[in-house]
Structure 1
Amino acid sequence: MLPSLPVPGSRSGTSLPQAERERARKPRRLRVRWRWVLALLLLAAALLCALLLLEELRTSEFQARKLAELAREATFRLEPGPSPSIRFPDSGPYDERLGYTGLPDFVARLVASGFEIESQAQHSPRLEQLEDWGISPAYREKDRAGLRIVGRDGAVLFGTRFPEHSYERFEDVPTAVVDALVFVENREVLDDRYPRRNPAVEWDRLGRAALSRALQVAGAEADRSGGSTLATQIEKFRHSPRGLTSSPGEKLRQMASASLRAYQDGENTTAARRRIVLDYVNSIPLAAAPPRGEVIGLGDALSIWYGADFARTNEILRTASLPGSPHDLETRARAYKRALSLVLSAGRPSYYLIQDPKALEARTDTYLRLLADAGAIPTDLRDAALATELDLRRRGEDAAPLPAEERKSAGAVRARLVALLGLSDYYALDRLDLDVETTVIPSLQDEITRELRALRDPERAREAGFLAKNLLERGDPSKLTYSFSLYERGPGENHLLVQADNSDQPLDMNEGVKLDLGSTAKLRTLATYLEIVAELHSRFAGEHRETLAAIEVEPADRITRFVIDQLISRPGLPLPGLLEAALERRYSASPWETFYTGGGQHHFGNFNEEDDERVLSVRSAFTLSVNLVFIRLMRDVVNYYIHQAPGSSAALLKDPRDPRREQYLRRFADQEGRIYLESFWRKYHGKQAEERRAALLRGVRVTPRRVAMALRAASPEMDFEAFQTAIRAQLPEGKLAPGIERKLYESYSPARFSLADQGYIAGVHPLELWLVGYLDSHPDTTLRQVFEASSEQRISVYQWLFSRHRKRAQDRRIRSLLEIEAFLEVHRNWQAHGYPFDSLVPSLATAIGSAADRPSALAELAGIIANGGLRVPALRIARLRFAGDTPYETVLAPAPTEGVRVMPEAVAAALRLAMVDVVEHGTAVRARGALVAGDGRPAVVGGKTGTGDHRYKIFGPGGTLLESRVVNRTATFVFLIDDRYYGVVTAFVHGPEAAGFAFTSSLPAQIFRVLAPSLAKLVPAGAG
């Protein structure tokens, strides 16, 4: 039987291929199944990511960890010396106002002025990295800052805090204000459900803002609401350029900086969010109101824009929504509406508060309704507020004036700071985040100030022994101004301890005025004289007798003759011995000699007529303050400079037949002219025309002839009207005869006189006159250009010296010119000793006080003497601390200095002994024994007194005195205490009332005696 064959199409014939097909289908089904699984997994992952993202958006858990970690790494600390890593902000209203952006310039200026960086903030590498990315450092920013000046003991001398009104804690901000703020600006900021939430970003709000912006770009209508949270708004108006968001990149920078700042204290931002609300309320910019300027913060805005009392307004606002409030509804409604209006004006403060207050009224009313609808305020408060109109003021009130004592104690420091930092005014200074430590002792200053003020009372003046001859036997004590300053020697620097007066005016008598301090000028004259003696000693002390005897000395040069004679008769004489001998040189005190000085003939008198017949030593004349001895001593000083100064003119004029005469004279004219032109150029360069003219006229004796010549010579193109105005301003009323101005204008035309004659008539060096006129037409000239332009003038000034005719007249003019040049040398010496002004009137009367001075400058000379001839800085600023507790903190202090020797030590010692003699036996005897140390030892006190009787005098023909009018009267006592302290006391009365006083320098000596008990605590037992 044959096997059966499979029939095509039958099932039995397909069993093997079917199995294979089944096996092939199975992987395909698995692949499809895995694709679904993968898709489901991806979907689950996406859902998980979305959930995580939503959770992150709600809670900020991831941000909190990372940003808190970043904030922990971005740190700073104060380290000694300059910081190589410190970075300062470039812009931002907050950083500009507090001075952070200006710190690089401030530091550079201070270093150039003798300060050094004592310590500075060192930034961590992470903080440097973030700053390089443009992210602001995260630190606890100050809601209030300002200038603070403290004394040596830490007591506050001056302090400002800007803004003036602010909230110290979040809890201090009325709930009604907080609720209104978060409702308007940032409703999620205080949501406590998510303690790690990033308060810098509200994602839903940011999304709406982004969509709105996109629609606006597309040209569609869209809501203009912003996406900024309170945190980013603070970042914007504090640290963005001009307080604006200029680009999307700037917005991202704001958000990043605000985010980092929120986590600076850790992951939990609950406290940070409350601080954000507090910072916003305290630092929101709300336009500017004259005269107060920029208005910052809700507190100042309530006070300035509404005239509201800050404390009372807050008291009202704390119960604004409470039914049991002690304040009536209208009062609460007004306070609430004012506060709400200021919150709402933040977006456009100048528009709402200044340009269109009605728009602010409408906006405020709208939000009152919205707040009531949301249940944030009761309806009765809403209705009462709607019925109340906003009462904005157009300008704020002036700031309350500081007490006079506070102004005075800190005034000089503030003035110094403005100059040091290159600021334009006190407004900018007082808003800096700056703490200043001074050398002043506030308790002692207050004590001295109280005593000086008390002396205005006639009864207290009587108790103090002031109602006596040469004191206040006549005159009203209440009209007198007293000033007192005290300094302490230190290593390489002196310290101001007290600077006080009894005036209510802001002017500082010690530094801010130019006074006639009378015979205190004898101290400067004596110092110059003794320095000349010391200079001659150093020149001749090593020479043999024969050499010294062969030296030719001009008969008029009596100082050189004296030194040579002493060294011949006493070989090996040391400098202290020579100085003692110099102090024993004797002069006549006779007032009957006529002195040709200052371009004219003069007579001088002594205060005490009993001295007129005496011949006194220099020491005795200094002790008793005898004028004529010092007039003659100054004449010897002038003659020394004429005959012995390098390049002396007199040395070139000895032999009129010398064939080299013209060559010498031309060389002299050119070289001397260059020297003097350089000196004058330094004096006038950089000044405006009016300043140059004023500086010139300060060195001219006030007579019609001299002033007219100076004005015409310095300004040849000046028309008559300008001349008339200028000469009237320079000369006191009554000193010009009616109609004389035209005659003076024509008579002293520069065309009528040579340059040399112009200088002779004006009593001013001719080249100084020429330079002032040249600078008027060439204000930007250089010294080299001045030399090139003046070659003819340098010769012409001395041209008359070449003629052999009219020798007597020439000699007189030569003498006048040589005196002017000699006083330039005197002035150079005085300036080295701290003399504050840029010229001296070339007259022998300078020796007895015709040249003005300042008490502070006189005290500086006393400090040089106390320091053995070293001139060291007199400090009032001991330390400057900028931006304390910030990443920009910089502390500066005066750099150590060894001082500059401006006087031989032996000269300083001789001057000190002479000053002690003035107190022990002379014009300051009232101060003798006044100061006693704790162990009963009398302190060693030295000093010099001076009385200034400043008058306008009018003379007639032949020198007849027609009128003498008192301008002011001063009396001064500059003093030393032991080897440690020095200072100055001044009494001053200004105006016609000065004629009613007859006090002398005994008055400040008596004031010193009255103040001595306050000073005694400074004098240590066993010192001296």
Structure 2
Amino acid sequence: MKRNRAYHLRRFFLHLLVMTPLYMILLGLIFFVVGNEIKTSKLQAKIFTRIASKLTYRNEAGKSNSICFPAAGPFDLRMGYSQIPEWVSMLEKRYEVKLQARFSPLLLELTQWGLFPPYHEKTQVGLNVSDCSGEKIFEASYPQRVYKSFDSIPSHVVNALLYIENRELLDNRYPWKNPAVDWGRLGRSVIDLGLSIVDEGHKKIGGSTLATQLEKYRHSPEGVTGSVVEKLRQMVSASLRSYMDGPWTLNTRKRIVLDYINSIPLAAAAGYGEVNGLGDGLWAWFGADFDEVNSLLGAGKENIGSGDLGKTALAYRQMLSLFLAHRRPSAYLITERSSLHELADSYLKLMADDGFISTELRDAALQVRPVFRKDRQFNYPSSSNRWKAVNLLRTKLLSTLDVPNFYMLDRLDLSTQSTIRMDIQEEVTEVFKNLKRPDVAYAAGLRSHYLLETGDPSNLIYSFSLYESGKSANYLRVQTNNYDGPFNIDESMKLDLGSTAKFRTLVNYLEIIADLHNRYSEVSRAVLDIQTDLIRKDGDRLTLWALEYLSNSPDKGLRPMLEAAVDRTYSASPAESFFTAGGLHTFHNFHKTDDTRIMTVREAFRNSVNLVFIRLMRDIANHYMFQAVGLNPAHLEFMEEAERRQYLMKFADREGKTFLNRFYQKYANKKPEEAFDRLVSGIQNNPARLAAVYRFVKSSDGIEKFSDFITDRLPNSTLSPETLYHLYEKYGPDSFSLADRGYIARIHPLELWVVRYKYSHPDAGLTEFIGASAKERQEVYKWLFKTRYKGAQIRRIRTILELESFQVIHKEWKKLGYPFDFLVPSYATSIGSSADRPHALADLIGIIVNDGVKYPVIRFERLHFAKDTPYETILEPDPSSGERVLPAEVAKVVKGLLLDVVQAGTARRVANVLLDNDGKAIDVGGKTGTGDNRYKTFGAGAQLIGSKVVSRTAVFVFLIGDRFYGVLTAYVAGEEAERYSFTSALPVQVLKILWPKIKPLITG
């Protein structure tokens, strides 16, 4: 045993004696290879170059199924790369993906693992907008001040950065050097990390190179290194990016320096926002001129102190301070500026000691302190005619992409081609600006009756939109106004547009006739006679007329029936009082000469006669009432009790659930306060109505909140505290039944209940609403069965049925683009009491131009995201077939009536005036409207105690030829509106003035 042990021991020492030199040689070789690799990165260059060569992408037509968008990197979010999938999804109903990048298989796999794709990233991006011809009309670039190339950077700027961050980065002795890893710095950071675990007070240094810092603040979540895994991701991604152009990296390293200087994050400055890059940092934090700083720092010169040493020293210190501030930008640039000055002092001394700067520059720089600027604001030029279109387009992009503000929009990597014809846009804007000058307005013939006979032209706002109908879309060509600001009057205001409501009423009327034709045109004469007798008894005049027409007319085609329908006659007399909106109302015509006449719908539309359309709206409302309960409510008075009760039970059971469902859908996506605001926005500003609603919905609120609500809604009222208290008590939650409260407020009682229920059950679904409302649905209609006061009962039934008929009318109007969520339930809606928007009227006439087909309105012909990146995506309008919303015959008849308005009616000023290039008159049609919007103040008992004009509006919605349509609005707001007497003749006359400017587009 001992001899064996000695034997093995001798063999071990012999082996050790023989092999140790070999082990030392091998170990030395390993150290040599590793050391050489650390110095030269030759092996890394081969590996990463080979991998990077396979990390490619290409662009192909259509939507990509091999693409991976970035998650949450600051630059990816700022430039919009992360949001592209969401935007594509949002826009898929109107746009299609024409082109998108495709990742190579390996690139797709690695990015799905979490690596950042290697490509030449942009340091300067921003929103670009061009007009329909491709002419650039807006360009935002962030950062705004950048170096275009490495050679344009003063060498002393580069040297200062490298001294602070990575002194050997540009060492040209090692052409394969991996700039993503500084092994010495990384090793020290690992040691420091270990020591900090033992000693919490031990100071750590970062191990990041400029290359990994770029990856971090561009692509890592929130721009920070949150874990060791995140650090590895940065290093590998930076390495792949470094070798994407091949194994030699000197040019890549120069590009890293260039990109870093141009994009370094420097906190956010008040009045400016996020600051990136040295150039913008100098301007935003110190108010320094970028070009002047570069001149002082001597781009291309060695001796930077040869000029004004004081200015040079300040510029150098400003530059140095910003590079140092990157370590803790918010602290050093905002809250701890004295610490930044101390840090800069220490670096100036070290740099002079190491020979990086002269002692003269050091001493001069130590004597100055950069002064942080207090005022900084970037303002776009807002006075140019071009800027008006740009603002309108940018505003539309905000809503299209659901971007919160211009600040974020302008920093997206997005190029758009709009549909705007910019040359004409600018000329129209210039005309509008000039028309504010009295001398120009009067010279243009606007100082006459119905125009600007009174009032100051300088206070008048003109707004104009012109669209072109294409094969599968309508294209906005001009949209402008002379309002001093970005507000879009056509699309953003709720305006009283007067008689243009007759346009919607006429279309609604002809839709009903078309529906009746579809229902009865194939029915036999015998059945028609039976139906006629039934309808004659119940009083639905529109259905009765349709049945009689189809019974007696030899031509039962739709077009002849529609033409006959517009030749039906009505009285224009204002002598009748109309029971509508819960009370008796009278109406007046614009021209008293019409008062004694009986005229056709065609003539009334041509000359905009109010009383004919009031009576037509009554027939429309009664028609929908008949559809709801099977009879004219006026005939309830003459029914036997049992028969009337049967009708009422049928009505109550069906309508309760129907309207609960409708009101649930109306408020489904609203928070309780939003639902309440929407509810009261449809109520007349009457103390009793407001009190009835508030005390029911917000029954627990005290007198103070109630009083604040009433005074907010009635700012000019004279209601005393005593009166407010009386209202508070009178309309308390237990003072009236739900049905009575709805009657007082002129709101369907179930709508009131739905809004109140949302306060206690904000997340309830429809099933819960229906289940919880069983008692209320019975209560709402219980009063219908009481017979003590038959007259009051009939009036209430009529009011409720009228509310419901206007719900149906609203649905029909909404289908054709009506912009608001409710109509005033009154015959006066036919003459403008429910308001409108100019662009919505343009949408309606666009449907007429397109023979009843609704096409989307396109403002952008192309949205080009992330050009020259792996995320490149191009969206263009989807060639849609459109949606038929009107029978073609209805559209053709309406178009004929619109042409008649111009040839012989209220818009005849423009008849035979718009001539083509051969001198031939172009067909023009349209509808005019004048709105005199008054603020009415009511006292106790709903008594009108005050009325004043708050705005005046005149509008002309028009079509020109077969392809073009639009709307022109004149508007004046405020107390001075009372001084004006213009009518819709004004926008018609202004269209004549605009014709020479828009003719090149129309005649093309």
Structure 1 length-normalised TM: 0.91
CA displacement 1:739-758 (0-9 Å, x = unmatched):
43233333334533332222
Give the 3-state SS of the residue equivalent to 2:909 in structure 1. helix
Aligned length: 989
1:464 aligns with 2:447: no
CA displacement 1:926-970 (0-9 Å, x = unmatched):
222332223333221110000000112457999997643111000
1:787 aligns with 2:770: yes
Rounded to whole Å, the distance in 2 between the matches of 1:589 and 1:410 is: 47
1:375 aligns with 2:358: no
CA displacement 1:800-854 (0-9 Å, x = unmatched):
2223332222222222222211111111111111111111111111111111111
Could you tell which deviates more after superposition, 362-371 or 89-98? 89-98
Larger Rg: 1
1:92 aligns with 2:92: no
Going from structure 1 to structure 2, the CA distance change for 1:226 and 1:951 (only over 3 Å counts) comes to closer
1:986 aligns with 2:985: no
1:265 aligns with 2:213: no
Which runs of 5 or more residues in structure 1 are unaligned?
A: 1-31
Going from structure 1 to structure 2, the CA distance change for 1:533 and 1:238 (only over 3 Å counts) comes to same
Tell me the equivalent position of 1:513: 493
Letter of the aligned partner of 1:1006 in structure 2?
Q
Tell me the equivalent position of 2:536: 553
Rounded to whole Å, the distance in 2 between the matches of 1:834 and 1:324 is: 67
User: Superposed, which structure 2 residues align to 1:560-579 within 5 Å?
Assistant: 560-579=543-562
Going from structure 1 to structure 2, the CA distance change for 1:738 and 1:996 (only over 3 Å counts) comes to farther
Rounded to whole Å, the distance in 2 between the matches of 1:1018 and 1:953 is: 44
Going from structure 1 to structure 2, the CA distance change for 1:489 and 1:993 (only over 3 Å counts) comes to same
**Could you tell me how far 1:415 is from its partner in structure 2?**
4.1
User: Superposed, which structure 2 residues align to 1:127-166 within 5 Å?
Assistant: 127-166=107-146
Counterpart pick for 1:409 among 377, 384, 389: 389
**Could you tell me how far 1:427 is from its partner in structure 2?**
3.2
Letter of the aligned partner of 2:977 in structure 1?
A
Tell me the equivalent position of 2:59: 78
Counterpart pick for 1:313 among 282, 290, 293: 293
User: Superposed, which structure 2 residues align to 1:163-178 within 5 Å?
Assistant: 163-178=143-158
Give the 3-state SS of the residue equivalent to 1:266 in structure 2. coil
Rounded to whole Å, the distance in 2 between the matches of 1:35 and 1:594 is: 122
Going from structure 1 to structure 2, the CA distance change for 1:554 and 1:330 (only over 3 Å counts) comes to farther
CA displacement 1:650-681 (0-9 Å, x = unmatched):
49948743646545433321210111111112
CA displacement 1:219-277 (0-9 Å, x = unmatched):
59977443322112212222223322333333332222212211222222222111111
- Whether the aligned pair in 2 keeps the contact of 1:321 and 1:378 (CA below 8 Å) is no
- Whether the aligned pair in 1 keeps the contact of 2:296 and 2:304 (CA below 8 Å) is no
1:816 aligns with 2:802: no
Rounded to whole Å, the distance in 2 between the matches of 1:620 and 1:485 is: 28
Could you tell which deviates more after superposition, 144-153 or 581-590? 144-153
Rounded to whole Å, the distance in 2 between the matches of 1:978 and 1:692 is: 44
- Whether the aligned pair in 2 keeps the contact of 1:649 and 1:668 (CA below 8 Å) is no
Tell me the equivalent position of 2:3: none
User: Superposed, which structure 2 residues align to 1:797-808 within 5 Å?
Assistant: 797-808=780-791
Tell me the equivalent position of 1:600: 583
Tell me the equivalent position of 1:666: 649
Could you tell which deviates more after superposition, 755-764 or 973-982? 755-764
Structure 2 length-normalised TM: 0.93
1:855 aligns with 2:855: no
Rounded to whole Å, the distance in 1 between the matches of 2:541 and 2:878 is: 44
- Whether the aligned pair in 2 keeps the contact of 1:321 and 1:381 (CA below 8 Å) is no
CA displacement 1:318-359 (0-9 Å, x = unmatched):
269765867411111111101001111222222322232222
Tell me the equivalent position of 1:9: none
1:928 aligns with 2:908: no
Rounded to whole Å, the distance in 1 between the matches of 2:75 and 2:889 is: 56
Going from structure 1 to structure 2, the CA distance change for 1:326 and 1:456 (only over 3 Å counts) comes to farther
Rounded to whole Å, the distance in 1 between the matches of 2:198 and 2:216 is: 26
Counterpart pick for 1:67 among 20, 36, 48: 48
Going from structure 1 to structure 2, the CA distance change for 1:41 and 1:937 (only over 3 Å counts) comes to farther
Letter of the aligned partner of 2:149 in structure 1?
R
Rounded to whole Å, the distance in 2 between the matches of 1:536 and 1:215 is: 88
- Whether the aligned pair in 1 keeps the contact of 2:660 and 2:754 (CA below 8 Å) is yes
Rounded to whole Å, the distance in 1 between the matches of 2:339 and 2:473 is: 61
Tell me the equivalent position of 1:329: 309
Going from structure 1 to structure 2, the CA distance change for 1:723 and 1:49 (only over 3 Å counts) comes to closer
**Could you tell me how far 1:883 is from its partner in structure 2?**
1.9
Going from structure 1 to structure 2, the CA distance change for 1:945 and 1:1019 (only over 3 Å counts) comes to same
**Could you tell me how far 1:514 is from its partner in structure 2?**
0.5
Going from structure 1 to structure 2, the CA distance change for 1:646 and 1:490 (only over 3 Å counts) comes to farther
Give the 3-state SS of the residue equivalent to 1:140 in structure 2. coil
Give the 3-state SS of the residue equivalent to 1:974 in structure 2. strand
Going from structure 1 to structure 2, the CA distance change for 1:319 and 1:413 (only over 3 Å counts) comes to closer
Give the 3-state SS of the residue equivalent to 1:638 in structure 2. helix
1:905 aligns with 2:885: no
Give the 3-state SS of the residue equivalent to 1:752 in structure 2. coil
**Could you tell me how far 1:989 is from its partner in structure 2?**
0.4
**Could you tell me how far 1:374 is from its partner in structure 2?**
2.4
User: Superposed, which structure 2 residues align to 1:148-227 within 5 Å?
Assistant: 148-217=128-197, 219=199, 224-227=204-207
Counterpart pick for 1:432 among 412, 419, 425: 412
Could you tell which deviates more after superposition, 443-452 or 911-920? 443-452
User: Superposed, which structure 2 residues align to 1:620-659 within 5 Å?
Assistant: 620-645=603-628, 650=633, 653=636, 656-657=639-640, 659=642
- Whether the aligned pair in 1 keeps the contact of 2:867 and 2:873 (CA below 8 Å) is yes
Rounded to whole Å, the distance in 2 between the matches of 1:377 and 1:955 is: 80
- Whether the aligned pair in 2 keeps the contact of 1:623 and 1:923 (CA below 8 Å) is yes
**Could you tell me how far 1:892 is from its partner in structure 2?**
2.7
Going from structure 1 to structure 2, the CA distance change for 1:137 and 1:993 (only over 3 Å counts) comes to same
CA displacement 1:275-319 (0-9 Å, x = unmatched):
111111011112222243322111121111112222222222226
**Could you tell me how far 1:37 is from its partner in structure 2?**
11
User: Superposed, which structure 2 residues align to 1:283-322 within 5 Å?
Assistant: 283-318=263-298
Could you tell which deviates more after superposition, 859-868 or 414-423? 414-423
Rounded to whole Å, the distance in 2 between the matches of 1:480 and 1:120 is: 47
Letter of the aligned partner of 1:388 in structure 2?
V
- Whether the aligned pair in 1 keeps the contact of 2:419 and 2:858 (CA below 8 Å) is yes
CA displacement 1:600-651 (0-9 Å, x = unmatched):
2212111122222222211111111111111111111112112234766849
Could you tell which deviates more after superposition, 262-271 or 42-51? 42-51
Rounded to whole Å, the distance in 1 between the matches of 2:432 and 2:761 is: 51
Letter of the aligned partner of 1:186 in structure 2?
N
Could you tell which deviates more after superposition, 425-434 or 647-656? 647-656
**Could you tell me how far 1:863 is from its partner in structure 2?**
1.0
Tell me the equivalent position of 2:474: 494
- Whether the aligned pair in 2 keeps the contact of 1:99 and 1:433 (CA below 8 Å) is yes
- Whether the aligned pair in 2 keeps the contact of 1:138 and 1:257 (CA below 8 Å) is yes
Counterpart pick for 1:715 among 698, 709, 718: 698
Rounded to whole Å, the distance in 2 between the matches of 1:512 and 1:698 is: 16
Could you tell which deviates more after superposition, 569-578 or 990-999? 569-578
- Whether the aligned pair in 1 keeps the contact of 2:950 and 2:973 (CA below 8 Å) is yes
- Whether the aligned pair in 1 keeps the contact of 2:392 and 2:486 (CA below 8 Å) is no
Tell me the equivalent position of 2:85: 104
Give the 3-state SS of the residue equivalent to 2:724 in structure 1. helix
Q: How well do the aligned residues superpose, as a CA RMSD in angstroms?
A: 2.9
Give the 3-state SS of the residue equivalent to 2:169 in structure 1. coil
- Whether the aligned pair in 2 keeps the contact of 1:871 and 1:899 (CA below 8 Å) is yes
Give the 3-state SS of the residue equivalent to 1:970 in structure 2. strand
Counterpart pick for 1:917 among 890, 900, 909: 900
Rounded to whole Å, the distance in 2 between the matches of 1:661 and 1:600 is: 23
Rounded to whole Å, the distance in 1 between the matches of 2:642 and 2:595 is: 48
Counterpart pick for 2:995 among 1005, 1008, 1012: 1012
Which runs of 5 or more residues in structure 2 are unaligned?
A: 1-12
Give the 3-state SS of the residue equivalent to 1:371 in structure 2. helix
Give the 3-state SS of the residue equivalent to 2:912 in structure 1. coil
